[in-house]
Amino acid sequence: MKRNEDGILNADLSHAIASMGHTDLIMVVDAGYPIPDDAWRIDLAVTRGVPSLFEVLEAVHGELIPERVLYAEDVPEMNPDMDEFLRELYDGSAADLETIPHEEVLAYGSEAKAIVRTGSLVPWGNVVIQCGTDPKPWFDGENVTMPEEYRRRYEEIYGESP
């Protein structure tokens, strides 16, 4: 059993997150997302709404450093609860939240390293997460210079200058 009982217990999802590298993509999607046949499908759906998109996004966020999060441009107007959830979840994470056309979100399925299917029936409930890095350990050496973009991320994550 994993030491951290608050972490992800699902073996496939835990493996997928551990396999992510900088700029790799993982998608967390609703029950109706058309997952390509050749995709790494992690199907968590049990029944309608179980598990929820929001529960899975929270669990993934607890173990994956996001750099960029993409979701449908329809969400802020047509599903404001989801928009608020995403903004609160990723607030302070240094992740860039972007809305893009729904068709573009769907197209990311062919690029994602893994696609996690939830039981949610949420309008526009498909989220693309681009994996980032934690700048602190990468630029912790004495003779290493931290680029400006990583300084900004460091400050957003840790609330202080490196």
pLDDT surpasses 80 at 6: no
Does 141 fall in a domain? no
Dump pLDDT digits (tens) for 34-68: 999 999 999 999 999 999 999 999 999 999 999 99
Domain residues for the domain of 88 are: 11-133
Does 138 fall in a domain? no
Domain count, the chain: 1
- Reading the block at residue 116, the tokens are 């996690």
Does 142 fall in a domain? no
Q: How confident is the model at residue 153 (pLDDT cuts 50, 70, 90)?
A: confident
Does 98 fall in a domain? yes
Dump pLDDT digits (tens) for 104-127: 999 999 999 999 999 999 999 999
Does 140 fall in a domain? no
Annotation says 61 is catalytic: no
- Catalytic-labelled residue, pool 15, 22, 61, 102: 22
Q: State the pTM of this model.
A: 0.91
Q: What is the CATH number of the domain that holds 25?
A: 3.40.1650.10
- In sequence order, which residues have a C-beta less than 8 Å from that of residue 121 and are 6 or more positions away? 30, 31, 32, 48, 49
Does 149 fall in a domain? no
Contact (CB, 8 A) for 101 and 129 = no
DSSP state of 146: P
pLDDT of residue 3: 62
Does 158 fall in a domain? no
